[in-house]
Amino acid sequence: MKSHLNLSQRAINTKESQIREASRYCGKYGAINLAQGLPDFPAPEALKIAAQQAIAADHNQYADTWGLEPLRIAIAAKMQRDNHVTVDPDTEITVCCGATEGLNIALMAILDPGDRCLIFEPFYENYIPNLATVGGIPEFITLQAPNWEITKEMLDQAFARGLKAVILNSPANPTGKVWTLAELELLAEYCDRYDVYIITDEIYEYILYEGNHISMLSLAGMSDRTIVVNGFSKTFCVTGWRLGYTVANPTLTAAMRRIHDFLTICAPAPLQYAALAALAFGQDYYQNMAKDYQRKRDLLFSALKDIGLSPVLPKGAYYIWTDSSVLADDANAAALRLAKEAGVAAVPGNCFTNPNCDRTNGLRFCFAKQDSTIQAAVERMARYAKR
């Protein structure tokens, strides 16, 4: 028997990430990497010191499986302050290995193989492989640039297909869409009517330029069916720490905790102590971060317009989405052309869209980069535009 015949269906259905593939051709063509969604600048000094101190103080063994108690208390206080929801740190919060684990334990807790889960496209690329892992079937609603609006007609059609869950991401990767209260209320009404769970990925909640972040959990009556997935990666510039958390009612939390315990036991113990320092930051930290990202966004946005692309100004998160048809008919060819000819790498749009569509349009640029990195990319693109 050939060894590949022994693989599980879930392994076969899990395709390699094209975002990392885009990063690989950065090396090949010497392109500046605006593809992968991680900052190239340092984490806050206070966090690095807190992590070093936690290791020196020998917090190096398994932590409480559900997360360090003071950290769960601090997350509950943050939820009260910023999301206007009261949650019990003992029974409703689970600290896990990044929002990535949070999303996986949420899906494992509520989906059986064959269950249908709605996602809004363009979507964060992990959602499809994460659904493949549990045998969930993705159902898509395709949102259109520049407003990425949802309509009742779209929801009528999608919910009529028989859903068990919806994954919502606001502010969204890759579009920068920030869901309004009216949109959240509309989606909540459908979830209530059809008895559907909502997993809400709020990892970019503080990276916001326009509008307000409203957590789905804060809407009246939604605590029965909402799982919040969040984490420290983006807000505190520590994507490598792998610290995230889920917030959900005690029944959902108990189910996710059982799975989390046997999947990873706990999130990194010393970094949970360091995360306490992060949650003690004042409002100025969040305001300065959003201001810094807005400056980076504006710099990159004008450069993309100047080379003839049609970028959509994001309201949140740290990505810019643009139509790519001036570069090539197909997104892969557009990304390759930009890397080879302009020396700038972006992610082709098909990472974020229904895998069964053969041809896609669109590129995603990440601007979580030092100003000097963005400036260098802008200069390259300006030179390319003049050719």
Ligand X SMILES: Cc1ncc(COP(=O)(O)O)c(C=O)c1O
Per CB under 6 A, residues contacting ligand X are 37, 98-100, 124, 169, 173, 201, 203, 231, 233, 239, 244
Q: Which residue is nearest to ligand X (CB)?
A: 98
CB nearer to ligand X: give 106 or 252.
106
Q: Cα dihedral angle (30, 36, 42, 47), rounded to 10 degrees?
A: -160
Shortest Å, Cβ 223 to ligand X: 22
CB closer to ligand X, 37 vs 362:
37
Q: Between 276 and 333, whose beta carbon lies closer to ligand X?
A: 276
Q: Among residues 130 and 373, whose Cβ is nearest to ligand X?
A: 130
CB of 125 to ligand X, least distance (A): 8
Q: Least distance (Å) from ligand X to the CB of residue 387?
A: 33
Residues 6+ apart with CB under 8 A from 2: none
**Rounded to the nearest whole angstrom, what is the least distance from the CB of residue 203 to ligand X in the complex?**
4
The nearer residue to ligand X, 233 or 249, going by C-beta atoms, is 233
By C-beta, is 99 or 381 nearer to ligand X?
Answer: 99
Phi, psi of 357 (to 5 degrees): -85, 130
Q: How far is the CB of 161 from ligand X (least distance, A)?
A: 24
d(CA 386, CA 369): 25
Least distance between ligand X and beta carbon 85 (Å): 20
The smaller minimum CB distance to ligand X, of residues 257 and 380, is found at 257
Task: Supply the minimum distance, in Å, between the C-beta of residue 215 and ligand X.
Answer: 15
Q: Residue 289 is encoded by which pair of tokens?
A: 């971060």
Furthest-apart CA pair in the chain: how many Å?
A: 61
- Angstrom distance (rounded) from CA 238 to CA 236: 6
In the bound complex, what is the minimum distance in angstroms from residue 231's beta carbon to ligand X?
A: 3
Closer residue to ligand X in complex, CB, 124/301: 124
